[in-house]
Chains A and B, each alone.
Chain A
Amino acid sequence: MAIEMIEQDFRRKVCAQIRLEPEGVGRYRVFTPFRFDDGDHLAIALKREAGQWILSDEGHTYMHLTYDLDEKSLHRGTRQQIIANALSAFAVEDREGELMLAVRDERYGDTLFDFIQALLKITDVTYLSRERVKSTFMEDFRAFVEEHVPETRRQFDWHHPRRDPEGKYVVDCRINGRPRPVFVYALPNDNKTRDATITLLQFERWEIPFGSVSVFENQEEINRKVLARFSDVCDKQFSSLTANEDRIARYLQEALREDLS
């Protein structure tokens, strides 16, 4: 096909897919071929307001995004930044959730292209959504301890009854029946590791005698500095539960038999 024919085909196909349909006085539905990922097309109305024509999504774009995302998450962090950039780049106004662009100097086509580009950029925020499989690590840890430590020798979610009645400094599992109890921590992420560091330091400050052991979900994913600080205060660490079940079981058996000090 000659390049002129291709160009004509482009024009015919693209132009044919943009049309208007009246919807009341001074108001038209604008149909375009541009779509969300579920096959729904962008919602665009052309309406007359205060003597000028404006393009509006009538709140549809944000509403559509909230099928997958919490509305609040659109207004913070990276998503907020992407949206702000898109609005700014194409001079689109966000009027309480309704996205609007006024047609100036009778540049209807340019305005429509700008508006469409802004809406499409905003819909990109859905790609920041990650489908996550919820970790079963904490449940697995608990089941593992229940299997290897008799009920009379363990206490989950222990905190010091006198010094910490509100439970600010919690131990995932305390192994009892020893002169020096063992505090066992299950650590799935940086935050929990930081909390465990603070908790162990607090027990040191209170001069409580104890031994400590930690089991990471995946130690390689812990921030280096967070891990370094934790390593200074914890006696024994296992890099993961699944790869060390035998070793952890042996360690717990020994802890039940003797004072590890």
Chain B
Amino acid sequence: MPVLLSDDEIQRLINEPKPLPPNYHLRLRLKPKRGHKEAELDFEGVYRSPFRLILRQSMRNPLDFSVILAYCVPQTNIIFRLRRYNGKSHEHTNKLEGDKFYDFHIHQATRRYQDAGLREDAYAEPTDRYADFHDALECMLANCGFEFPPNPQPSLTFFSEVFNHGN
């Protein structure tokens, strides 16, 4: 896989303010698919960068989930994963470092892994900042430049109900 983005470009995209559309909570409703639930939201950052928020959760194991912030590379069909907040359902190995762990973990895109011909987000670190899907999403929204729309804003309870849709 060719190198697409440098570490600076990756960080700039993560920091780019991302206003959520007013109806984002409806558009992020998880819909049941085969064996898992999913939702996606395409939107633009304030500098017009196209992004996609991708949500996945297993229907059999609630700890098996992914909350992904991706950059939709213009003029291509490439979805470049900037950050991925994973649940605790599998081990992860960082191939370049050789370390392995079984925990909630956050994947991050790096230049180093692209240089090595690996997936852009094949590097991950264990985390204790969340322990379920809802908290992982909150972490993502808080850490990656998301801005909530002015009122009316759904309460966290409502937000939680939205994400439990399809259980």
Contacts and interface: CB of A to CB of B under 8 A. Distances in A.
Interface size range of chain B in the complex: 35 or more
Contacts of A67: 54, 56, 66, 68, 81, 84
A97 interface: yes
Contacts of A134: 75-77
B119 interface: yes
Interface residues of A, number: 31
Interface in A27-74: 29, 31, 35, 37-43, 45, 56, 58-60, 62-63, 66-68, 71
A68 B78 CA distance: 9
Contacts of B18: none
B36 interface: yes
Contacts, number: 104
A58 B92 contact: no
B38 A66 contact: yes
B33 A71 contact: yes
B58 A63 contact: yes
A39 B56 contact: no
A132 interface: yes
B62 to A, nearest CB: 10
Contacts of A98: 35, 59-60
Interface of B: 1, 33-36, 38, 54, 56, 58-61, 64, 66, 68, 75-79, 81, 84, 86, 89-95, 102, 107, 118-119, 121-124
Pick the 3 closest A-B CB pairs, nearest first. Answer: A97-B35, A59-B35, A97-B34
